[in-house]
Amino acid sequence: MHPTDDAPDDLPRRSFLRIAGLTTAGWVVGTSALTLAESVAGKLFMPVNDRLDALLLNPQKPVPEFPVSAIEPKALIVNTFRFTPQIDPATFRLTVNGAVNHPLNLDLATIQKLPLTSMVIRHVCVEGWAAIVQWGGVRLRDVIQMAQPKVGVRYVYFQSADGYYESWDLASALHPQTILAYQKNGALLPVENGAPLRLASPIKLGYKLSKWVTGITLTSQLLPQMGYWEDQGYEWFAGI
């Protein structure tokens, strides 16, 4: 399974409900996942286009990061979803479409020319384990901004080369520490960790952090399929 180095296949129902309850409570009281509360709840009744502008232009509170010395190079557990796709970096393309004014079809070289963001953060699995990892890549908000979202956009869908799919709220996708990573611990991202491009963020549980991302779709509403694990009963927001 694929939930980005995060495999909650046999997670007991009681454990899952406990974790889901904690993460949802954290969202409500404004922990790191919703330092976004100011951007989402505080602007809930703003016109949609104004709210989008506010998210793009106003900085959101960052989650504290770790020093490079804290990296745990062997702690990140690798699991697969259906299979590990072999993607040729030379022919790779990232598409960005949906409710946008400027659909994108980006090759890896173009993505790597965008400003690099590097961060040392904790990857948290719903199974209860965690790993401190350094991720490097481009901020997702920069890519979304290039696509020029239309008025009314509220959600972001991610498609992966192995068939995995996920959806996020717009505010979490635009958080400055949500990135499309192509580096891990200062080196090129390994295939087993999602190369050539994967999601990395300190504000979501591991199953939200899609690997082998090939497509991004912006929408005004959630589709019937919200995410691979969410469609089986897992929490949708999954903030930490």
Q: Which domain holds residue 136?
A: 13-232
Would you state the pLDDT for residue 29? 26
Q: Report the mean per-residue pLDDT for the chain.
A: 82
SS3 184: strand
pLDDT at 46 over 50: no
pLDDT, tens only, 98-137: 999 999 999 999 999 999 999 999 999 998 999 999 999 9
Domain tally, the chain: 1
| pLDDT tens profile 224-239 | 999 999 999 999 999 9
The sign one gets for the Cα dihedral 178, 179, 181, 183 is: negative
Q: How confident is the model at residue 3 (pLDDT cuts 50, 70, 90)?
A: low
Per-residue pLDDT band for 37 (boundaries 50, 70, 90) equals very low
Tokens 């996020």 appear where? 168
Q: Is 193 within a domain?
A: yes
What is the pairing mode between strands 213-219 and 93-98?
parallel
For residue 168, what is the domain's CATH number? 3.90.420.10
Give residue-wise pLDDT tens across range 52-81.
666 666 668 899 999 999 999 999 998 777
| Alpha carbon distances (Å) from 214 to 46, 89, 100, 162 | 32, 12, 17, 10
Flag whether 70 is in a domain.
yes
Could you tell me if residue 35 is inside a domain?
yes
pLDDT higher than threshold 50 for residue 154: yes
Structure-block tokens of residue 50:
């104004």
Model confidence at 34, pLDDT cuts 50, 70, 90, reads very low
Q: Per the domain annotation, does 209 fall within a domain?
A: yes
109 domain-assigned? yes
User: How far apart are the C-alpha atoms of 70 and 231, rounded to whole Å?
Assistant: 35
Percent of the chain's residues with pLDDT above 70: 75
Residue 238 lies in a domain: no
pTM comes to: 0.80
Q: Tell me whether residue 111 is in a domain.
A: yes
pLDDT of 41 reads 30
Q: Can you name the residues that pair with 123 across neighbouring β-strands?
A: 131
75 in any annotated domain: yes
